[in-house]
A and B are shown apart, each in its own frame.
Chain A
Amino acid sequence: MEPQNHQPDRRAQDVDAAADRRYRDLIRSVHQEWDALEARGDSSVQLSQRAISSINEAVRADARHGAQVTMPPTEAGPFTITESALRALVRSAVDSVPDALALRSSFEHVEDQNDGVRVRGLPTRVRLQISARLGNQDLPGLAELVRHAVRSAFRSNLAVSDLIVDIRIEDLHEHTD
């Protein structure tokens, strides 16, 4: 049977990246506006329509980013990373493996005792759904390469070791650029 014109749908990820870019640009422009007003000694309330719009955009950004995930601290202090940034890291690692494309990922976490529903503990397991290039003759070998790439990315970027990586090949695609 001839393969259909099949492309895994990754548009949502690109839409999120574009939305984050626009959000940063909005924040930058509001800060420039305030810098200029303060330099002129303007002591008015300084809430332009743009500054008020940033409240709505902050809510949208918060929904897009998901919960904060606690990470091992750096030598200079503590840090957290959002669920969406973690998924971006996973996607980048999977896409770096020839013949593999990331589709979806979800995490399990150590239970965080400190904060409420918007904070997660260290990730312990990631479940990946990927697409493999049609014609790859060694799917188990491909999965192992993806596993290694994701673990390596978490080790070098976040100092998270021993991450369990479950992989499900859900789709087959033809060539990538």
Chain B
Amino acid sequence: MSTPTERTAADLIDVVTAVPGVRGIEPGITSTLRTIDARIRKLQTRRARYGLVLDSEARTVTVELGLDDSRPIREIVADTQRAVQTALDLSDARPMTVLVRVQSLTGKESRQPTVNR
């Protein structure tokens, strides 16, 4: 059974992007540079993915997402947090804190005015 420290960012990306209302991963600058740094130094590359930072010591996961407007934002965020916690906490008594950063919100096409000729 995998432990939180063995779960990889790559695994969690799949968990997160399967949540209804999540459009995709949208990394910020900090997670982008950390990911690039990890890959250049070949540090456990399976743990390095854009938009998802897994800090086992601080027991936090930071996820950076784009959402759609199919459901209320809080519902999508809470479902994402629960999905990540469920994926991580299989054999550990202390839950991880999952911080979600909503980077963008994409809705229906905006209405455009027309001229009645």
With A27-B24, A38-B46, A77-B99: A45-B110 Cβ-Cβ less than 8 Å? no
Q: Give me the interface of A with B, judged by CB distance under 8 Å.
A: 5-8, 10, 13-14, 17, 20-21, 23-25, 27-28, 30-31, 34-35, 38, 43, 45-47, 51, 54-55, 58-59, 61-62, 65, 68, 74-82, 84-85, 88-89, 91-92, 95, 101, 131, 156-159, 173-177
CB of B102 within 8 A of CB of A80, answer yes
CB of B74 within 8 A of CB of A159, answer yes
Q: Which residues of B contact A35 (CB under 8 A)?
A: 10
Q: Give me the interface of B with A, judged by CB distance under 8 Å.
A: 10, 13, 23-29, 32-33, 36, 39-40, 42, 45-46, 49-51, 66-67, 69, 72-74, 77-78, 81-82, 85, 97-108, 110-116
Q: Which residues of B contact A175 (CB under 8 A)?
A: 113-116
CB of A31 within 8 A of CB of B49, answer yes
Q: How far is the CA of A114 from the CA of B24 in the complex (A)?
A: 28
With A31-B50, A175-B113: A46-B104 Cβ-Cβ less than 8 Å? no
Q: Which residues of B contact A8 (CB under 8 A)?
A: 113
CB of B111 within 8 A of CB of A77, answer no
With A28-B24, A58-B27: A76-B72 Cβ-Cβ less than 8 Å? no
Known contacts A30-B50, A175-B116; 18 additional CB pairs below 8 A are A10-B112, A27-B24, A27-B51, A31-B49, A31-B50, A54-B32, A55-B36, A65-B103, A75-B78, A79-B81, A79-B102, A85-B104, A89-B73, A95-B110, A95-B111, A157-B74, A158-B74, A174-B115
Q: How far is the CA of A83 from the CA of B66 in the complex (A)?
A: 13
A77 to chain B, nearest CB (A): 4
With A24-B23, A79-B100: A173-B113 Cβ-Cβ less than 8 Å? yes
Q: How far is the CA of A143 from the CA of B24 in the complex (A)?
A: 35
CB of A45 within 8 A of CB of B42, answer yes
CB of B39 within 8 A of CB of A45, answer yes
Q: Which residues of A contact B85 (CB under 8 A)?
A: 76-77
Q: Which residues of A contact B69 (CB under 8 A)?
A: 92
Could you give 30 example pairs across A and B, Cβ below 8 Å? A7-B113, A8-B113, A10-B110, A27-B27, A28-B24, A34-B39, A47-B36, A51-B39, A58-B28, A58-B32, A59-B29, A61-B27, A76-B77, A76-B85, A77-B81, A77-B85, A77-B100, A79-B77, A79-B81, A79-B100, A80-B100, A81-B73, A81-B105, A82-B101, A85-B67, A85-B102, A85-B104, A92-B107, A157-B72, A175-B116
